[in-house]
Chain A
Amino acid sequence: MNKVGMKSVGHGIRKIDGMAIATGKPVYTLDLAMSNALVVKILRSPHAFAKITTIDTSTAEKVEGVECILTFKDVPKERFTLAGQSYPEPSPYDRLILDEIVRYVGDEVAIIAAVDEKTALQAMKKIKVEYEVWEPVLDFEQALGHASVVHPEEDLHCNFDIGLQKEQNIASSYNEEVGDVEEELKRCSVIVEDVYYPQAQAHAMMETYRAFTSLDHTGRLVVVSSTQVPFHIRRQLARALQLPASKVRVIKPRIGGGFGGKQTGSLEAFAGMVTLKTGKPAMIIYDRKETFSCTTSRHAMRLKTRVGADQEGIIRAIDIQVLSDTGAYGEHAPTVLSCVGHYTLPLYNKTRAVRFTGNAVYTNKMPAGAFRGYGATQGTFALECTVNKLAEKLGMDPTEVRLKNISKVGETFLTGQGVLLGSTTLERCIEKGKELIGWKEKFPSRKLENSKVRAVGMAITMQGSGIANIGTASVELRLNDDGYFTLLSGATDMGTGCDTILTQMASEVLEVPMNHIIFNAGDTDTAPYDPGSYASSTTYLAGAAVVKAAEELKSKILEQGAKFLGVSVQDVEMEGLTVRTLAGEEMSLAKIAELTVLGTGKLQLVSSATHGMDISPPPYVAGFAEVEVDQETGKVELIDYVAVVDCGTVINPKLARIQAEGGIAQGIGMALYEEVIYNAVGKMASNSFMQYKIPCRKDVGKVRIAFEESFEPSGPFGAKSIGEVVANTPPPAIVHAVYNAVGVRVNHLPITPEKVFVGMQKL
């Protein structure tokens, strides 16, 4: 399959939900909540680490309009994880809906449900709690072997061995070595090493977390939630609330952004619990403060890297040691940790030895979780900064070092278990990026007339497309009685546009206009299983499932059409909403539908497909930054950012471009502005947009995106993924550019003027 002559795939088609959401139609979770729903509020811990000794709700319960107040005494005692991952989840089962021990400032103490918000808040103030305050673990570098154990409980457990050692505060550990790194480093003529600190970053999606729960006409729990993972939420709630999964229905309406945050089930159980207890509809809405301080963030990490190369600049050894701060709970702790290595080591495959080791540790801070990039962001930051340092030590152009070392089509890499790379245009991405940014003229820097210096920097990155051997996607497709189609999918559009691109693919295969296909997704009662919108999966996996199902349905239609037209199936084709014989006789899809659906003994034409892969083909980005640094103040202004993307075939150029621009902006935020900060007693200090700055229109400079398409043989129409890979290059590329401007390496993100200025004083 290729794009030549295609009618839908490869075209910059408007999103099918675009006009509704761009004009404010009521299609988000809160817009759908019943007006009589109880309002659910959470009483939260003021302490970073404490045990509840007494909790008295009796006065609070007397407040008129209070429907129920729940404490740890009222919830099931079965531990679970909030991580939205395929079963069996790798994340430790270290949660209860409410626990006797509170593990961070903001951890849940009581659930209050009342007729309105005011009443709930009034009742909250009347709950009397006494705590035994414990010494918290606040510095993740001190967590290992700390006198305090964040999870002392006996019943914490894992589905399989993730290296958890709770007495040591280790939620998970990972060790992988191929070859002998120490020996190989001895043989290298150039070795560079350094320590990097990518910070905790907040997702800061515009729609905060929210869910609305009710019981349906059969007594089942219906959960409307702003989630990326409806099926995982169903399973999670079943376990947390001790219900059969068949008693839970999860509906995902339009979502106001997620970025991985909504891959963790932060609040559904609280409203669900209230509805089960009271039988009444309930809604829970996190305000911005709770969204910042009581959900998840990107894992803050410390990465120690060593990279060795020979005199020609061929990288022979890579050693990465990670310490990851998972906070109070282990959501996504093992997988984000392992992805640091999985999405960096394959970049450079001339290595003779690689080692990747690490621990994810518990601390008494807000849990970390899934965030666009998922470990690759942190790993890319550390490795790419190191490779830039290596290039300098070798006296080589950093782009040349990349071109010499990157993996090529048909090659494998040390930890790749023999899997051959099916597609890459990374080389072209680097060349194109150099050209667009003006690398030859601008590298490394040039002084301006005032006190300012302009400089360029670069980095490359990869991600995956789905999770090999775990990720899966199912779709069902049918020809309706009127000749239109319905495509049922479990995929979870969170603004990314997958409802549209999956419809584009179905339309292409079925050779019918997109508006003849009804796309229905996000309801666990009607959709076939899909893990949800994460791990850069949907285009690659759900897309392939759509292609399979559409091809199957098309052949069934042709078969039926041929039968009705009295010819053999080889003699018919689909054209213009008809099945047509070579002689020109035709029958419309509507007629075929009518003849197959209506009457007795007929069979509606349907197809279904489930698709999973044993590989996860990497998309690539080469990112180039041009900055202007004020030597008097240390202020960094981003002048230009060029990202050249290989996501395989571009299914929808407009949507792919926006994904890339948005990912770059989020990376720019991480590089220059954003940081989750705690005060000395573990209370989050960055809990509003006044303290936590995300880039505004003035901060992103000029972002330019170009595509160098490859053709991924295993992908639908040759596509790979794009959602996450685009977030990874700005931190290392901007750090590189700042270094080239003023000679200061900022290894601890974000790059604030203060750090640059102080760094300059030390030179």
Chain B
Amino acid sequence: MQITLTINDKLVIWDVEKDEILADTLRSHGLLSVKKACETSCCGLCTVWVEDKSVLSCTTLSVRAHGKKITTIEGVSKDAEDFARVLTAEGSEQCGFCSPGFVMNVLAMKKELVNPSDKEIIHYLTGNLCRCTGYMGQLRAVKTYLGVQ
């Protein structure tokens, strides 16, 4: 069936299967930043924005996104680079595979929380798993990026 979406500020009409998930749809249209890693809504890697809110695209049906505004990291490259510069200065991207989802959620948090505490940051991002870094470096990077102590 056909769905109409605004992907990264561009209106598109795509054919999708009824049981197709958004992560697969986005990847099949070249948005390769979107990663899948758990299939059970546990890891946060597939995080994209639907109507500017973080959503797990591995468990969102593409048809559910009909008529909505979808943003992937490709659509916020300037902000993503600003944060990535801080993240990589800490070395806390490591393998990088979880970065797109993590970065999207950090950018969403920045818009939502004002001057968050460590606890609030950790709580907000807790659904973004990372097996490489142990999270400490990511916390340092997020705090530097947000300009909080």
Binding site for B on A (CB under 8 A): 12, 14-15, 17-26, 28, 31, 203-208, 254-257, 259, 287-289, 494-497, 652, 654-655, 657-658, 661-666, 688-690, 694-698, 700, 702-703
State whether B73 touches A661 (Cβ < 8 A): no
Residues from chain B with a CB closer than 8 A to the CB of A255 are: 95
Could you pull out 9 A-B pairs where Cβ atoms are within 8 angstroms? A20-B96, A21-B96, A28-B97, A206-B132, A256-B96, A497-B91, A658-B91, A696-B127, A698-B123
Would A688 and B38 be within 8 Å (CB), given that A495-B94, A657-B91, A700-B134 are in contact? yes
CB B41 to nearest CB in A, in angstroms, measures 9
Query: Chain A binding site: helix, strand, loop or mixed by DSSP?
Result: loop
Residues from chain A with a CB closer than 8 A to the CB of B132 are: 206, 257, 495, 658, 662
Residues from chain B with a CB closer than 8 A to the CB of A697 are: 122, 125-126, 128, 135, 139
State whether B96 touches A22 (Cβ < 8 A): yes
State whether A25 touches B33 (Cβ < 8 A): yes
CB A705 to nearest CB in B, in angstroms, measures 8
State whether B131 touches A205 (Cβ < 8 A): yes
A-B residue pairs, 3 tightest by C-beta: A21-B96, A495-B95, A24-B33
Scan B76-91; emit 1 where CB is below 8 A from any A CB, else 0.
Answer: 0100110011011111
Would A698 and B134 be within 8 Å (CB), given that A12-B91, A19-B88, A256-B96 are in contact? no
Would A689 and B38 be within 8 Å (CB), given that A22-B84, A23-B77, A696-B126 are in contact? yes
Cross-chain contact of A496 among B33, B77, B94 (Cβ < 8 A)? B94
Interface centre among B39, B81, B91 (most CB of A within 10 A): B91
Would A206 and B134 be within 8 Å (CB), given that A19-B81, A22-B99, A689-B38 are in contact? no
Residues from chain B with a CB closer than 8 A to the CB of A703 are: 134, 136
Would A14 and B38 be within 8 Å (CB), given that A23-B103, A206-B45 are in contact? no
State whether B93 touches A15 (Cβ < 8 A): yes
A661-B141 Cα distance, complex, nearest whole Å:
14
State whether A690 touches B40 (Cβ < 8 A): yes
CB A31 to nearest CB in B, in angstroms, measures 5
Residues from chain A with a CB closer than 8 A to the CB of B81 are: 19, 23
CB B71 to nearest CB in A, in angstroms, measures 12
Would A661 and B136 be within 8 Å (CB), given that A24-B99, A259-B131, A496-B94 are in contact? yes
State whether A698 touches B80 (Cβ < 8 A): no
A584-B96 Cα distance, complex, nearest whole Å:
46
A28-B100 Cα distance, complex, nearest whole Å:
13
Residues from chain B with a CB closer than 8 A to the CB of A663 are: 134
Residues from chain A with a CB closer than 8 A to the CB of B33 are: 23-26
Report, as a range, how many residues of chain B touch the other chain: 35 or more
Which residue from chain B places its CB closest to the CB of A726 in the assembled complex?
Answer: B134
Cross-chain contact of A19 among B72, B85, B97, B130 (Cβ < 8 A)? B85
A26-B33 Cα distance, complex, nearest whole Å:
6
Cross-chain contact of B91 among A206, A652, A694 (Cβ < 8 A)? A652
Cross-chain contact of B89 among A654, A688, A702 (Cβ < 8 A)? A654
A494-B97 Cα distance, complex, nearest whole Å:
10
Interface centre among B45, B77, B88, B89 (most CB of A within 10 A): B88
A239-B32 Cα distance, complex, nearest whole Å:
34
CB B126 to nearest CB in A, in angstroms, measures 5
Interface centre among A496, A658, A664, A689 (most CB of B within 10 A): A658
Q: Does B52 sit within 8 A of A, measured CB to CB? A: no
State whether A206 touches B137 (Cβ < 8 A): no
State whether A24 touches B80 (Cβ < 8 A): yes
State whether A694 touches B129 (Cβ < 8 A): yes
Q: Count CB-based A-B contacts (< 8 Å).
A: 175
Would A700 and B98 be within 8 Å (CB), given that A22-B88, A654-B91, A689-B42 are in contact? no
CB A360 to nearest CB in B, in angstroms, measures 26
Which residue from chain B places its CB closest to the CB of A497 in the assembled complex?
Answer: B91
Would A654 and B90 be within 8 Å (CB), given that A206-B45, A288-B40, A688-B42 are in contact? yes
CB A22 to nearest CB in B, in angstroms, measures 4
Residues from chain A with a CB closer than 8 A to the CB of B99 are: 21-24
Which residue from chain A places its CB closest to the CB of B101 in the assembled complex?
Answer: A24
Which residue from chain B places its CB closest to the CB of A202 in the assembled complex?
Answer: B131
State whether B103 touches A22 (Cβ < 8 A): yes
Which residue from chain A places its CB closest to the CB of B135 in the assembled complex?
Answer: A697
State whether B92 touches A658 (Cβ < 8 A): yes
State whether A31 touches B32 (Cβ < 8 A): yes
Residues from chain B with a CB closer than 8 A to the CB of A205 are: 95, 97, 131
State whether A23 touches B84 (Cβ < 8 A): yes
State whether B95 touches A18 (Cβ < 8 A): no
Would A206 and B90 be within 8 Å (CB), given that A23-B73, A23-B80, A664-B134 are in contact? no
CB B56 to nearest CB in A, in angstroms, measures 12
Q: Does B133 sit within 8 A of A, measured CB to CB? A: yes
State whether B129 touches A206 (Cβ < 8 A): yes
A697-B90 Cα distance, complex, nearest whole Å:
17
Residues from chain B with a CB closer than 8 A to the CB of A694 are: 129, 131
Scan B37-72; emit 1 where CB is below 8 A from any A CB, else 0.
Answer: 111101101000000000000000000000000001
Residues from chain A with a CB closer than 8 A to the CB of B84 are: 18-19, 22-23
A665-B135 Cα distance, complex, nearest whole Å:
8
Which residue from chain A places its CB closest to the CB of B33 in the assembled complex?
Answer: A24
Residues from chain B with a CB closer than 8 A to the CB of A28 are: 35, 97
State whether B37 touches A696 (Cβ < 8 A): no
Q: Does B74 sit within 8 A of A, measured CB to CB? A: yes
CB A421 to nearest CB in B, in angstroms, measures 29
Which residue from chain B places its CB closest to the CB of A285 in the assembled complex?
Answer: B36
A665-B92 Cα distance, complex, nearest whole Å:
13
Residues from chain A with a CB closer than 8 A to the CB of B34 are: 24
State whether A494 touches B95 (Cβ < 8 A): yes
Residues from chain A with a CB closer than 8 A to the CB of B45 are: 206
State whether B95 touches A256 (Cβ < 8 A): yes
Interface centre among A24, A28, A256, A657 (most CB of B within 10 A): A24
A661-B96 Cα distance, complex, nearest whole Å:
16
Residues from chain A with a CB closer than 8 A to the CB of B129 are: 206, 689, 694, 696
Residues from chain B with a CB closer than 8 A to the CB of A662 are: 94, 131-134
Which residue from chain B places its CB closest to the CB of A32 in the assembled complex?
Answer: B32
State whether A658 touches B94 (Cβ < 8 A): yes
A697-B139 Cα distance, complex, nearest whole Å:
9
State whether B137 touches A661 (Cβ < 8 A): yes
A17-B88 Cα distance, complex, nearest whole Å:
9
Would A21 and B95 be within 8 Å (CB), given that A287-B39, A694-B129, A697-B122 are in contact? yes
State whether A207 touches B95 (Cβ < 8 A): yes
Name the interface residues of B91-149: CB closer than 8 Å to any CB of A.
Answer: 91-100, 103, 122-123, 125-137, 139
Residues from chain A with a CB closer than 8 A to the CB of B131 are: 203-206, 257, 259, 662, 666, 694
A497-B94 Cα distance, complex, nearest whole Å:
7
Name the interface residues of B9-52: CB closer than 8 Å to any CB of A.
Answer: 32-35, 37-40, 42-43, 45
